Structure 1
Amino acid sequence: MPEPAAVLIAAVSGRALAASARRAGFVPLVADCFGDDDTLALARAHVRLRWGAGRGIDPEELLPALERLAAQHRPLGFVYGTGFEDRPKLLGRIAGRWRLLGNAPETIARLKHPGSFAALCRDCGVAHPHTRIDRPADMAGWLAKRAGGAGGTHVRSRIDREAGRGTTYYQRRVSGSPVSALVLGNGRAAIVLGFSAQWASPAEGRPFRYGGAVRPAMLPAELSAALTGAVERLASALPLIGLNSFDFLVEDNAFRLLEINPRPGATLDIFEPSAGSLLGLHVASCEGALPEQAPNLPGAAAACIVYADRDVGSVPVMDWPAWAADRQSAASSVRTGDPFCTVFGRAPTAAEARQLVKQRAAAILAMLDARLK
């Protein structure tokens, strides 16, 4: 019996991609920055990468790591997640060695350049907050963002220190609730797989740090149709391939598009179908195939990140529940504000699912507190 096809995966956290790869029948070969227990169990081979908010993924570390992972296999291609938004040149180097299963480096560069993205939205008739490169004399009503940033930690309402790597740009602050569309493209057309509502988990100096998401987002039919229309217009103007996320702010029946993340994102877990696999759809779309309709996803599902509420020099042995993932290994260390794990919840309604993950996050921190006493 032939060996299943292997896929190279690299991301800040590769666990969700690795899990979806397993469900699709692929062998995941993973390089990520956490190396948590789940990822190690899922991956056929794993390399842990160093990570720093001011450094990002290091090309001189990643490329040899991918060579080591691929040494005993013939990978179908390379799938990338979070961590490559400001790395189109690195993706170009990888594409010279393995097939990219996802958007081309040129697409990443276009979408993550503030000026070109604003022009794209204007040309497609999609509302987008006013954006500028030069710093406003008065920051009131403006947000500072790092081009190619992800996860919300790079978004600030004031500048009181060096912004780190990349280009800082400025965007008008607008009101609304965050809604994200998970979109699958084949380079010619795209289909919306679903909408999720998202929330922040503010921390000192990081007021927009990503907290979690729940699907479905409870949107009026008129607004859902308008968001879908915006996605379709944008997808017709650039060759989106694979899984992408479109991040909106919605208010009543109006919306503004904040950004497009042209890679599999943070909502993989809650949109994973009971039959099939999102990564399977992602790879098929790279071959040009799109499903006639989005997978049926009954009920509601939520996921949220549990951030450490203290420094832990040596993580104790935890009695991890089945609804937790990205589990810190025993004896590893975490700092206050580091991701400790992710918790999931399913319920009949979105409100119930969100409340459930809130309760489960509190239970994890209570368990950690008890283990440390």
Structure 2
Amino acid sequence: MKIAHISDTHLGRRPKQTRPGIINQEVRPLEDDFYSAWIKFVNEIVDKARNRPDVILHCGDFFDTPAGYDPSPPPEYARKVAAMTFKQLYDANIPLIIIDGNHGRYMEYRSSTLSVFPVAFDNIHLFTHYDTRNSLRIQQPLFIDINNLNLRVITHPSIESRALSTLGMQSIYKNWIHLQNNSISPDLINIAMAHGMIENSTLHEDFLKGNYQYIALGDDHRMRKVTDHAWYSGSTELWNFNEINTEKGYLMVELEQEKTPPRITTKKIQSGRNIIFDTIEIYPEDTNLQILKRVTDTFDVHGLNTRYEYSTAARVKIILKGKKTYGSSFNIGEVESALRKLALDSNDYNIVEFILDRPDYPEYTKQEDIGQSL
């Protein structure tokens, strides 16, 4: 059996510190990068020249919003991309199993941001955050059997850690995990999928002890092996700069004999953008102009001093480090304002996103105060 394992596509993601405007009157800057990554995946999967998978597992965070304190539904263009690509998978007769993550789900409704799609396409099978809550409450396993594939998929959509910390919930959750693990069928291929991490208490460690032939995981944006039978596929696009050294893409998983570890092939989804992440030292005797020049020299070193072109424009994060003392003449707020205008308002630099991480200086710091703190 061949499985495509993907997760954390975050369709509709809109990074905040980008150039103003709307691209082609459809999307915000960088929003379409997340669509492009998912579209590349679907195009590769349905390509008849390739060996198509028997099933696709999407392990959560299909859409980016709602999430956390942002109750916004997914952008309409994100829904359009979802519908177009789901139609491609439907036409190719490839089943798609999706679970809710902690992004792209409603907290107070039984419906999901994805609920309409299984109604339109019978190859899509959705398990929501609410399904998890209900399954926990009635202590029943949460799975689907795909009979023509001789396959059982046991699912663990996202559940928030604060809900699990409620009095008595930990034992209920642990019992449910054991119930899930005991729901494997000796007559079927048994695989599991989950959105969560042991490290942030959104996935119980015992889930990884189930006798599954493969466990597909989502939530961690790093593509990585957890055990011989369990992997995170990572995210498909750079969500933030903490992920700068992580590979983006998906996994192709081949299952053979029951006790043989699955054969994993990593598939990269290449971004067309340069990602620049640099640290620049500033000194007490610096002026605004000296700091500005140091940053623009860094832009030049990375080849960003060319006319702005959206399709190739870079994502840039600069960290400023250093002390400001009594008598320092630079104003970090003025420096930041000038850099943002250069990077995001002018066409002199090929930059689409600019993040400046700089010290939050008080008005000044006396030299003797610094000496006392050392």
- TM-score scaled by length of structure 2: 0.29
Give the TM-score of the pair, scaled to structure 1: 0.29
